[in-house]
Structure 1
Amino acid sequence: MATLDSPSREIFTTEPDEAVIAGPGWDIRAYRLRRGSFGFLRRARQIAPGLSLEESHLRSGGLRIEGALRARRLQIGFFESEEFRLLGSPFYSGVMCVAYSGSFWETVANLPGSGLTVNFAESMLERVVPLRTAPLLLARLNGPLGASSALLPLNAAGLALERKARALMNEEAPEGLEERAAAAQELIDLGVALVDTLLCEPESTIGPPARHELAVAVERMLWKSPQADGYPLTSLEDAAARLGVSRRTIQLALQEHFGIGFVALKRAIRLQQARAALRSLPRKQVLDIAHAHGFHHFGRFARYYREMFGHLPSAETAGP
């Protein structure tokens, strides 16, 4: 947990898991969709035990994040990007997202982009979501992919919370116990107002496009290990047959959701899997790992790898 006056840190990295915008309390998978490094700035501030703020700025690259918020937590986030898809819906201006206790959340961002999150941990949660309200909120968040985060246009309650959070991030930290308690209480009151808006005005939630579920299903299929028993490397034809749709429908869904087609998404995922194998099995031959992940032309594999990660696959196995 960050201290009350956690300083900004400028980080330049090619590792998506070091550049995650989702904030604390998430179990996530993050991977790059396009080549290139990430320029990343993060600031964090703890307002009170169980209540923190986090601000992240991702400066370049293409990033895919999906995951679930851990149990007994609430996160309210405000996001902007030049090209941003949250829960399947594209945005080019401000939007807010509410995640609660196990909620699924996912995004595709072609950066630069930024996010500001207000994070309520278990010790603070019941002051924002009382026990009597929790079942209503969980029911409100239930969707086709299970418990999902709620995506909403920035309304008056959200604007008030965002402004207060940004003020606390940019001003000097409250010094006295009374000042800190007052700042925490104001964030709690604004959080309660926003949750009430979500429960009372469900029509304000932005729904995902019809092809969103299909795109996520194809992605999850591709992430299954290519060495798994009974699960051969997936082709577009194989995916279409398994899902009972046409190849064109899959391509349209992936372009709409990820901004890339089936071949590019499959290559990006297989490169991440090959990299993980190279790092976990450093003594294994690079050529064997390339073949195991569907790259049968080693020169192309090395070129794709270098374009994606900035170095050759052999660099992963270098060392004692």
Structure 2
Amino acid sequence: MTRLEHLNHSIFMEAKEIKLMLAAHTLPPASVWKGKPENIEGAPGVNAFPMSTICRQDSFEQPHFAYWARRIGEGVRYHRKLWEFVFVLQSLWERGVIKPGAKGLGFGVGQEALPAFFASQGVRIMATDMTAEQAARAGWIASNEHAAGKAALARPGICPPELFETNVDFSVCDMNAIPETLRGFDFCWSACAFEHLGSIEAGLQFVENSLDTLKPGGWAVHTSEYTMSSNDVTIATGDTVLFRKRDYEELARRLTEKGHHVAPFDFTPGDGPIDRYLDILPYRPEPHVIMALWGHQTTSIGVIVQKAGG
């Protein structure tokens, strides 16, 4: 790319950002989001996530949301990353696989508390992440988002050390080349990881390949990026890609053709004040549900797939 082409591209992208900012609503009054949602007593939901779905304000306000946030040592707040963890936990819970004796596989676990929680429930967990060298190049070590080993995942407040030691193992794993040694699991998951595999196709292929790690009838629950701006223009290659509606529909088609069951997608945008607020760089710790990223309006999405044969 020549300097002129680079300049034109930069101007184009900045213009898109400005348009998004002008179109976005201002930050909602503090009374709408500060100290909310309420940290109410709750329990796991019943059929809370029957569908693969995008992140919306109303999900944060359900009793199960506060329940799961507490179980992984988090305060309740409007943040899409927390929503992703709750989506994974609740989706797997209501499908009956978080139970003693089950086996779970986590991809790109970083510093997540999920392995410790699963272990506390008697689930045998294989947690995986990229090599330290790959993580350093990608900036995950600098941002404290890489698991160098099993010890990085210990959470004594969530799982007693002796139970954690028994139930959690750790392995290095390239998500673009899942080793054949990782097989026979009841479920697998990843939280905002497969958008970092280099391309849209690599991300879709990972979801498909993740099913190879499961027993027949096993469950895969993954979260990733979703661009709400366009079903055409996107970021298709690079360190972070943005998946469109059509990409997830293509994923569902491919998996369904192979006999797997994909929970239908619900792309309906939310209509609450937090759903209408567009967070821009530097991103706020809250509320952070919809964000501007490289000229795109994006949020998180959760995908639920059951492997054929169940």
Larger Rg: 1
Higher normalized contact order (CA 8 Å, seq sep 6+, divided by chain length):
2
Q: Same fold (TM over 0.5)?
A: no
In terms of fraction of residues, the more helix-rich structure is 1
In the superposition, the TM-score normalised over structure 1's length comes to 0.27
The structure where strand makes up a greater share of residues is 1
TM-score by length of 2: 0.28
